[in-house]
Amino acid sequence: MNDVVTQSAKPAAAAGGQPDHPAQETDGFQLVIDALKLNGIDTIFGLPGIPITDLTRRLQANGLRVIAFRHEQNAGYAASIAGFMTGKPGICLTVSAPGFLNGLTALAHATTNCFPMILVSGSSEREVVDLQQGDYEEMDQLAIARPHAKAAFRVLHAEDIGVGVARAIRAAVSGRPGGVYLDLPAKLFPQSIDAEAGKNSLIKVVDPAPRQIPAADAVQRALDLVRSAKRPLIILGKGAAYARADADIRALVEKTGIPYLSMAMAKGLLPDTHEQSAAAARSYVLPEADVVVLIGARLNWLLSHGKGKTWGGASAKAWGGQKFVQIDISPQEADSNVRIDAPVVGDIGSCVAAMLAAMGPSWPQPPAEWLDAIAERRTKNVAKMAESLAKDPSPMNYHSALNVVRDIVKANPDAFLVNEGANALDFTRSIVDMYQPRKRLDVGTWGVMGIGMGYAVAAAVVGGGQVIAVEGDSAFGFSGMEVETICRYNLPVCVVILNNNGVYRGDEKNPTGGADPSPLVFVKGARYEKLMEAFGGVGVLAATPAELRAAMEEAIRSGRPTLINAVIDERAGTESGRITSLNPSAKKKA
């Protein structure tokens, strides 16, 4: 790109009087860096290239951590989960056009999951793009980003960088968090302006995510409905985890004595072993509850849209006749699927605090009949699970392998657990208990395959702790090259691949008998652990629970990048795990 200083960007002094001294100048590169630092951004996830290579160098030279990936999608996933973990927008920096598009999936993922993230991409010049004159990597990125972002901005002049960054930060974290796109054309970076003017153009965002206080009458309406319930249920969603109101949420659950379900990324807000957890009675409590309190959870597909059949299979009853309380920062979320009888609009921290204050010193506990019925089903399911976990088949199956992971996570509750796959996801969710909030980082609302290694890097870099990434062998394939990134930064990541030789299973055959394998299988006995060894990490092939346990314990002791290839029976697993019913063929049979 040519370094052209546009008229409007000339130093202010040069436009009028003679400067008393040669005007100190700054440029677009430096203003982007200063604007990010001024707002507490200290880590960038990205991948260098035209026109942002020099920006990556200068970001690092200015003291920011620049975590360079092998594919922008993984950098974007890292930025998205960094936003969820910290409440500050995760920053993903990409080159133009293809790099931008690679990051766009992650931006859409962030928006869908309400994670605060900013995708910053270099771009081609407006005048060339708008005339479609065929620039290098020409693309109207802003237009393409808009439908997938909570907000999208472009900055053309250096003196506007401060506003652009401030608007992107506020848009990402205020209200319902989400993904924001910030478009920085190549010509912006070399623009120079008077340093003092540049400094004065920067904005330190004040109160970027202001509290949103619920109306007192809305709080009272909700409490009246809960008090009237004979079979109340609380559902905690990832919004409740994101809100960082952990003590008050636990106090609300324990003060009311109401059984609760944690959605996947809300696990650990209260320990999964908590006596009020109804996780092991999920298909019973959902249709049987008469009042359901949603806290940072949407009645989307994961909750059967609050109506019809739940996920417990043919025997499960359908939702019907429940009344709903919904605590959410988004007023439009109410009634999205079914009527919400008592919406409480505000940030969860303020809403829960207001409810606790309005409840007074004591609160009537749910009827024993309800609690006993849940306990009965919980006991039955726990016993059924225990029976499966106690078996020690060879080769291992999901239960015998995850029984080890369950123990390791219990012994290391501070560790982050990244999880993706189909069977690898669903079995890990129900077998591996979580004990602390914001430690389980998984596929989220969209069920995205490919979040694994990006999440693992972010959890290690931003969370600053041990990471255990439990991966399906198919899921790992989407981001596996980032094993090199994990080694390059020497991150304490222990990847456990549950390897059953296929997308869902490894025993599917090509029905024609032809030479091509089934599209659903992989190389049998693939040695994924060699990939980690290739970059200096530790690779282990684990064929038994004892070998898996030893390898995981050593990985955590050493803190070294480790990949454990856990050999799972290729006949284990079902198509799409617990959501096999979403497959059209399954629907046809049903």
Q: Which does 243 bind (CB under 5 to 8 A by kind): ligand ADP, ligand FYN, none?
A: ligand ADP
In the bound state with ligand FYN, the residue whose beta carbon lies nearer, of 204 and 317, is 317
Q: Name which of residues 279 to 298 contact ligand ADP (CB under 6 A).
A: 296-298
**Amino acid code (one letter) for 105:** T
> What is the nearest approach in angstroms of ligand FYN to the Cβ of residue 280?
4
In the bound state with ligand FYN, the residue whose beta carbon lies nearer, of 50 and 375, is 375
| Best CA proximity match to 42, nearest among 65, 20, 21 | 65
Q: Name which of residues 314 to 353 contact ligand ADP (CB under 6 A).
A: 328-330, 333, 347-348
When CB distances to ligand FYN are compared, the closest residue is 447
Give yes or no for residue 165 binding ligand ADP (CB under 6 A).
Answer: no
> What is the nearest approach in angstroms of ligand ADP to the Cβ of residue 516?
38
Q: Tokens for 157, please give them.
A: 């002049």
CA distance 166 to 173: 11
Give yes or no for residue 300 binding ligand ADP (CB under 6 A).
Answer: yes
When CB distances to ligand ADP are compared, the closest residue is 239
E strands, 425-505, are 440-442, 467-472, 493-499
**Environment class of 590 (CB within 10 Å of its CB; exposed 0-12, middle 13-18, buried 19+):** exposed
End-to-end, the C-alpha distance of the chain in Å comes to: 59
**Environment class of 411 (CB within 10 Å of its CB; exposed 0-12, middle 13-18, buried 19+):** exposed
In the bound state with ligand ADP, the residue whose beta carbon lies nearer, of 177 and 502, is 177
Give yes or no for residue 420 binding ligand ADP (CB under 6 A).
Answer: no
Q: Name which of residues 111 to 130 contact ligand ADP (CB under 6 A).
A: 113-114
In the bound state with ligand ADP, the residue whose beta carbon lies nearer, of 136 and 446, is 446
| Best CA proximity match to 5, nearest among 32, 25, 24 | 25
Q: Which stretch binds ligand ADP (CB under 6 A): 58-66, 71-79, 238-246, 308-316?
A: 238-246
> What is the nearest approach in angstroms of ligand ADP to the Cβ of residue 303?
7
In the bound state with ligand FYN, the residue whose beta carbon lies nearer, of 96 and 310, is 310
> What is the nearest approach in angstroms of ligand FYN to the Cβ of residue 255?
24
Q: Which does 445 bind (CB under 5 to 8 A by kind): ligand FYN, ligand ADP, none?
A: ligand ADP
Q: Which does 578 bind (CB under 5 to 8 A by kind): ligand FYN, ligand ADP, none?
A: ligand FYN
**Amino acid code (one letter) for 432:** V
* CB-based contact 396:547 (threshold 8 Å): no
**Environment class of 120 (CB within 10 Å of its CB; exposed 0-12, middle 13-18, buried 19+):** buried
Element (H or E) spanning 58, and its range? Answer: helix 53-61
> What is the nearest approach in angstroms of ligand ADP to the Cβ of residue 328?
5
Q: Which does 486 bind (CB under 5 to 8 A by kind): ligand FYN, ligand ADP, none?
A: none
What is the number of other CB atoms lying within 10 angstroms of the CB of residue 362?
7
Q: Which does 426 bind (CB under 5 to 8 A by kind): ligand FYN, ligand ADP, none?
A: ligand FYN
* CB-based contact 303:272 (threshold 8 Å): no
Q: Which stretch binds ligand ADP (CB under 6 A): 68-76, 197-205, 231-239, 553-561?
A: 231-239
DSSP state of 396: B
What is the full DSSP assignment across 326-359? EEES-GGGTTSSS--SEEEES-HHHHHHHHHHHH
In the bound state with ligand FYN, the residue whose beta carbon lies nearer, of 135 and 426, is 426
Q: Which of 104, 110, 266, 469 binds ligand ADP (CB under 6 A)?
A: 266
In the bound state with ligand ADP, the residue whose beta carbon lies nearer, of 159 and 333, is 333
* CB-based contact 52:81 (threshold 8 Å): no
What is the full DSSP assignment across 163-213? HHHHHHHHHHHSSS--EEEEEEEGGGTT-EEEHHHHHHH----SSSS---P
253-257 long-range contacts, CB within 8 A, separation 24+: 255/356, 255/359, 255/363, 256/226, 256/232, 256/359, 256/363, 256/365, 256/366, 257/363, 257/365, 257/366, 257/371
* CB-based contact 154:216 (threshold 8 Å): no
In the bound state with ligand FYN, the residue whose beta carbon lies nearer, of 281 and 293, is 281
CA distance 355 to 373: 27
> What is the nearest approach in angstroms of ligand FYN to the Cβ of residue 428?
9
Q: Which stretch binds ligand ADP (CB under 6 A): 70-78, 191-199, 234-242, 478-486?
A: 234-242
> What is the nearest approach in angstroms of ligand ADP to the Cβ of residue 444?
7
| Best CA proximity match to 78, nearest among 114, 110, 122, 38 | 110
> What is the nearest approach in angstroms of ligand FYN to the Cβ of residue 157?
43
Backbone angles phi, psi at 544, to 5 degrees: -135, 160
CA distance 67 to 70: 10
Q: Tokens for 206, please give them.
A: 């004040």
Give yes or no for residue 78 binding ligand ADP (CB under 6 A).
Answer: no
CA distance 336 to 561: 43
Q: Which does 282 bind (CB under 5 to 8 A by kind): ligand ADP, ligand FYN, none?
A: ligand FYN
Q: Which does 443 bind (CB under 5 to 8 A by kind): ligand ADP, ligand FYN, none?
A: ligand FYN
Q: DSSP 3-state assignment of 296? A: coil
How many amino acids of this chain bind ligand ADP (CB under 6 A)? 24
In the bound state with ligand ADP, the residue whose beta carbon lies nearer, of 263 and 542, is 263
Q: Which does 300 bind (CB under 5 to 8 A by kind): ligand ADP, ligand FYN, none?
A: ligand ADP
Q: Name which of residues 428 to 447 contact ligand ADP (CB under 6 A).
A: 445
In the bound state with ligand ADP, the residue whose beta carbon lies nearer, of 306 and 506, is 306
Q: Which does 382 bind (CB under 5 to 8 A by kind): ligand FYN, ligand ADP, none?
A: ligand FYN
Backbone angles phi, psi at 122, to 5 degrees: -65, 155
Q: Which does 579 bind (CB under 5 to 8 A by kind): ligand ADP, ligand FYN, none?
A: ligand FYN
Neighbour order of strands in the sheet with 416-420: 440-442, 416-420, 467-472, 493-499, 562-567, 538-542
Could you list the residues that contact ligand FYN (CB under 6 A)?
Answer: 264, 279-283, 302, 311-312, 381-382, 385, 422, 425-426, 429-430, 443, 447, 449, 576-579
Tell me which residues touch ligand ADP (CB under 6 A).
113-114, 176-177, 237-239, 242-243, 263, 265-266, 296-298, 300, 302, 328-330, 333, 347-348, 445
